[in-house]
């Protein structure tokens, strides 16, 4: 599964969101993901992807408008992780 | 002042999750006390409590559930039941004319316990993002307000074991004063966490487990009583302007006629005969009733060595020659001590006793204590005729004594 698919699975499983509505172009606003819900989603994302979301919330609000934005943001954080020794 | 009706009752308790089931269990003398397992069971000295059998996911969708401490879950379900029974108390009402007052002693104890376990036990900083919202003491009242769109006053009372009695008394006053027309009032408590139980253990007030029958460990007014048993649950009442309730043909389950509040202002735990007696007298005065009118007292009756003789003496002081002829029972012998929710649950028991004409017993009263010499309805429920008015006592650590009087319509 790629990052978006993992994110979609997480949102469908834990946040009662209909999988068919979870498309890359779907906006957070249309999905009724408000700032409070976003805090919880990011907490779960940290667990799922073993990352730490460093950005301040205000900054995220500027950057993240759609699920695709969120998946790309997660991807960036995952790729910045130090590579596990082979 | 306007008369106040009770038009709905909601119960989530160790003896069942609706008012009817709860009261039937009381009449049958059933106990909700049993052995429970918490985190670190090997470190628990006290292994008995009265938990609620509650399937949270059947009441709340998962994302909502993750925002609700158990205390709010129990409170919300009890409030929904009470409103449902009222059959339309909020219909056609300006939302600003309705509110919620809830009593809780320990608030979101499970969330607090879990947060500290994460921080200190697991040495992790992954504290759940909604911990503050879940643990805050006003969460149960706030969620009830949101669940039903109640835009009037929304308050949380925390006076330890009298919290919900205070919440109901204060709510009734708002209705009586004409500030609001409908209030959801009651209490909720979910203290069965490792940390909370250890704290109560340390205070040396918990009952020893009965070696033959753990369910019989709480023995109010008995010579072999050894303390209280902690329980969890919620009880909510719909309080309504009586004239409005009549106009919409609601079933009037009871009228709430008296509320007395008096503080010991002496010792943080040791109860005072005078303080308790003053609260009872004030409630009777507020009701405009003489002691003869009271046909049943649901006692605070914790089963601690300190409470029971003091409460007995206070009842004697207030009821005088009528004391011996007034039945008193402690239903805590069965549902245990729900702390901030206790008063609301016990008021429900008293109201249903008046409606059904049956007094719930004090269970586990086999060995009489000479200092506790009232009619405690020992061990077997009693059918009575013409029961009109009932009293419910709640006395608290910190000394806030609260008493409610209700009567049949």
ipTM: 0.85
Determine, for residues A40 and B66 on separate chains, whether the beta-carbon distance falls below 8 Å: yes
What is the pLDDT at residue B384? 97
Contact predicate B365/B221, CB 8 Å: yes
Task: Give the global pTM.
Answer: 0.96
Nearest CA-CA partner of B153 in B166, B162, B144? B144
What is the pLDDT at residue B89? 98
What is the pLDDT at residue A63? 85
A86: pLDDT confidence band, cut at 50, 70 and 90?
A: low
CB-count burial class (<10 Å; 0-12, 13-18, 19+) for B125: exposed
pLDDT tens figures, B119-172: 999 999 999 999 999 999 999 999 999 999 999 999 999 999 999 999 999 999
What is the pLDDT at residue B1? 87
What is the pLDDT at residue B383? 98
Count Cβ–Cβ pairs < 8 Å, chain A vs chain B.
17
What is the pLDDT at residue A61? 77
Q: From CA B401, how far away is CA B394, in angstroms rounded?
A: 6
Taking contacts as CB-CB distances below 8 angstroms, the residues of chain B near A15 are 62-63
Does the annotation mark B218 as catalytic? Answer: no
Q: Which of A15, A16, A39 sits opposite B129 (nearest CB)?
A: A39
Region B330-357 average pLDDT? 98
Q: Which of A14, A40, A45, A60 has the highest number of chain B CBs within 10 A, making it the mutation to test binding with B?
A: A40
Q: What is the maximum span of chain A, computed from C-alpha positions, in angstroms? A: 42
Pairing of strands B328-329, B294-298: parallel
A81: pLDDT confidence band, cut at 50, 70 and 90?
A: confident
Region B268-295 average pLDDT? 97
Region A58-81 average pLDDT? 90
Q: What is the mean pLDDT of chain B?
A: 97
Contact predicate B195/B116, CB 8 Å: yes
pLDDT tens figures, B228-257: 999 999 999 999 999 999 999 999 999 999
What is the pLDDT at residue B183? 98
Question: B365-384: string of b/e by CB count within 10 Å (b at 16+)?
Answer: beeebeebebbbbbeebbeb
pLDDT tens figures, B363-377: 999 999 999 999 999
Question: Interface of chain B against chain A, CB under 8 Å?
Answer: 61-63, 66, 126, 128-130
What is the pLDDT at residue B38? 87
Contact predicate B344/B165, CB 8 Å: yes
Q: Does the pLDDT of residue A57 top 80, yes or no?
A: no
Determine, for residues A40 and B61 on separate chains, whether the beta-carbon distance falls below 8 Å: no
A83: pLDDT confidence band, cut at 50, 70 and 90?
A: confident
What is the pLDDT at residue A56? 72
Determine, for residues A43 and B129 on separate chains, whether the beta-carbon distance falls below 8 Å: yes
Region B339-347 average pLDDT? 98
What is the pLDDT at residue A49? 96
CB-count burial class (<10 Å; 0-12, 13-18, 19+) for B24: middle
What is the pLDDT at residue A85? 66
Determine, for residues A43 and B66 on separate chains, whether the beta-carbon distance falls below 8 Å: no
Pairing of strands B294-298, B389-394: parallel
Q: Which of A10, A16, A52 has the highest number of chain B CBs within 10 A, making it the mutation to test binding with B?
A: A16
B57: pLDDT confidence band, cut at 50, 70 and 90?
A: very high
What is the pLDDT at residue B181? 98
Region B325-344 average pLDDT? 98
Q: Does the pLDDT of residue B111 top 80, yes or no?
A: yes
Does the annotation mark B59 as catalytic? Answer: no
Distance from CA of A36 to the nearest CA of B (A): 9
More confident residue, A63 or B376: B376
Contact predicate B275/B401, CB 8 Å: yes
pLDDT tens figures, B70-103: 999 999 999 999 999 999 999 999 999 999 999 9
Q: Does the pLDDT of residue B182 top 90, yes or no?
A: yes
Percent of chain B with pLDDT over 90: 97
Does the annotation mark B407 as catalytic? Answer: no
Taking contacts as CB-CB distances below 8 angstroms, the residues of chain A near B66 are 40
């Amino acid at each position: 599964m790629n990052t978006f698919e993992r994110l979609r699975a997480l949102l469908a499983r834990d946040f009662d969101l209909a999988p068919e509505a979870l498309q890359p172009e779907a906006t957070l606003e249309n999905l009724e993901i408000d700032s409070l819900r976003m805090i919880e989603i990011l907490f779960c994302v940290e667990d799922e992807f073993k990352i730490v979301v460093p950005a301040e919330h205000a900054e995220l609000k500027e950057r993240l408008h759609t699920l695709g934005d969120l998946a790309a943001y997660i991807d960036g954080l995952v790729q910045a992780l130090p590579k596990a020794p082979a | 002042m306007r008369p106040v009706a009770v038009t709905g009752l909601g119960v989530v308790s160790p003896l069942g999750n609706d008012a009817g089931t709860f009261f039937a269990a009381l009449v049958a003398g059933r106990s909700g006390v049993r052995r429970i397992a918490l985190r670190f069971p090997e470190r628990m000295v006290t292994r008995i409590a009265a938990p609620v059998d509650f399937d949270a996911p059947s009441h709340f969708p998962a994302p909502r559930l993750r925002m609700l401490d158990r205390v709010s879950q129990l409170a919300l379900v009890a409030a929904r039941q009470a409103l449902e029974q009222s059959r339309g108390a909020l219909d056609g009402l300006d939302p600003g004319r309705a509110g919620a007052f809830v009593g809780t002693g320990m608030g979101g104890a499970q969330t607090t316990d879990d947060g500290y376990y994460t921080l200190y036990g697991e040495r992790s900083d992954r504290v759940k993002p909604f911990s503050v919202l879940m643990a805050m003491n006003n969460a149960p009242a706030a969620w009830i307000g949101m669940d039903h769109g109640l835009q009037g006053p929304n308050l949380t009372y925390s006076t330890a074991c009298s919290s919900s009695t205070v919440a109901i008394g204060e709510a009734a006053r708002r209705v009586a004063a004409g500030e609001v027309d409908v209030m959801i009032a009651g209490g909720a408590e979910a203290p069965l966490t490792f940390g909370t139980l250890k704290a109560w253990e340390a205070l040396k007030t918990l009952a020893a487990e009965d070696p033959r029958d753990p369910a019989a460990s709480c023995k109010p007014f008995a010579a072999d009583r050894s303390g209280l048993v902690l329980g969890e649950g919620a009880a909510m009442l719909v309080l309504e302007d009586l004239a409005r309730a009549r106009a919409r043909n609601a079933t009037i389950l009871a009228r709430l006629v008296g509320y007395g509040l008096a503080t010991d202002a002496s010792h943080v735990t040791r109860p005072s005969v005078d303080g308790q007696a003053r609260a009872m007298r004030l409630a009777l005065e507020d009701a405009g009733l003489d002691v003869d009118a009271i046909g049943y007292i649901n006692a605070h009756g914790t089963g601690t060595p300190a409470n029971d003789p003091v409460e007995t003496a206070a009842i004697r002081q207030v009821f005088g020659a009528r004391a011996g002829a007034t039945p008193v029972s402690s239903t805590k012998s069965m549902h245990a001590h729900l702390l901030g929710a206790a008063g609301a649950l016990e008021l429900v028991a008293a109201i249903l006793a008046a409606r059904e004409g049956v007094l719930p017993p004090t269970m586990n009263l086999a060995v009489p204590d000479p200092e506790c010499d009232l009619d405690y309805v020992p061990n077997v429920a009693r059918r009575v005729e013409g029961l009109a008015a009932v009293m419910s006592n709640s006395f608290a650590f910190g000394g806030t004594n609260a008493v409610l009087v209700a009567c049949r319509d």
